[in-house]
Amino acid sequence: MAEVLSDRFASNEPWWIVVNPAGGNGAVSKSWPQLRKLLDACGYRYELAFTERREHAIELAIRGVEDGYRQVMAVGGDGTNNEVVNGLLQQRVVPPEHVHYALLPVGTGNDWVKTLGIPRDFRKWAPQIGQGLVRRVDVGLVHYTSGGEPRVRYFVNVAGMAYDAFVARYAESKRGMVSNKLLYLYLVMRCLFQYDLRKARVCMDGQTVEDHFYTINVGLGRYSGGGMQFVPHAEPDAGRFAVTLAGKMSKWAVIAATPYFYNGKVGRHPKVTTLTARELEVTAPAGQPPTLLEVDGEFLGETPVRFELLPQRLAVIVPRR
């Protein structure tokens, strides 16, 4: 499917800007004086809202739309991006695709912007936003379980299950040390020998696969974990999830396969299957423990998990070609 782009983005409306000072282990807070001067120099009119706790950005994004803003900007990394997107999708004032959304990436991973061609350097991207294009991208809605209760969450990049979620849960407890992709890769390897492989049942568009999976990835974006490509075949507006299933292999085989995580050729590994699906459900077979879940790098919960696709539900500002 071709990219869905509108005419050049041009608007004099004010922005509602959600800033996560803790983003990137404090990188946003350190960069904020420079970033604010840049926004002023670019001539943006805006009102600021600063996050104070986890998931506060969801509330702030909802408030901005309820207060009449139709241009919302987030300042932070992939976690901040996920929360603001959830706010835009949860609000009930206007259809979410009627709100123009921009992300100024200041974080540790900044994986989502790579797929969309958005500069990772906010000093390059901020002056371009006012002359960008609007790309309408798909959004995933995941139904999952946490603490025995059913919950839902929107995502726009990659959801990881099994080992990916195990690492995300561990990284969550070590937030102060995960400051770059090399440290994240270190965590991936450190957790490897602590992980017990679990059996799961995956149902995709009527097809069922049951196996001991090392990882189950469901993606709309291509990159995660600081540049890894578990779903290199993902397209943000294709109307289908990119799915990667990695089956049972030894821990040393996982280490040997590390180059496949980064070079976009993960589908060539003999234990890996790549495909696409419109709907996906993951459950634990009888007698098996639940499989863990993370989305956009944030640990959420466990199976049963169901993925639902919402086509072209988010209007994102991207650079002009």
Mean pLDDT of the chain: 90
Per the structure, the complete domain to which residue 47 belongs is given by: 5-137+313-318
Q: Is the pLDDT of residue 9 over 90?
A: no
Domain identity same for 114 and 44 = yes
119-139 pLDDT, tens digit per residue, is: 988 899 999 998 899 999 999
The rounded distance, in Å, linking the Cα atoms of 284 and 282 is 7
Domain identity same for 264 and 237 = yes
φ, ψ for residue 250, nearest 5 deg: -70, 160
Domain identity same for 185 and 303 = yes
Domain identity same for 187 and 302 = yes
Domain identity same for 224 and 123 = no
User: Among residues of the chain, what percentage have pLDDT more than 90?
Assistant: 70
Here the contacts of 86-89 (C-beta below 8 Å, separation 24 or greater) are 86/58, 86/61, 86/153, 86/154, 87/57, 87/58, 87/59, 87/60, 87/61, 87/62, 88/61, 88/314, 89/139, 89/141, 89/154, 89/310, 89/313, 89/314
11 and 129 Cβ atoms separated by less than 8 Å: no
Residue 251: which CATH number? Answer: 2.60.200.40
265-283 pLDDT, tens digit per residue, is: 999 999 999 999 999 999 9
Q: Mention every residue, 6+ apart, whose C-beta is less than 8 A from residue 81.
A: 74, 103, 105, 112, 156, 157, 296
Domain identity same for 23 and 115 = yes
| Count of domains forming the chain | 2
Mean pLDDT, rounded, for 149-171:
93
197-227 pLDDT, tens digit per residue, is: 889 999 999 899 999 999 999 999 999 988 8
Domain identity same for 166 and 272 = yes
Domain identity same for 123 and 157 = no
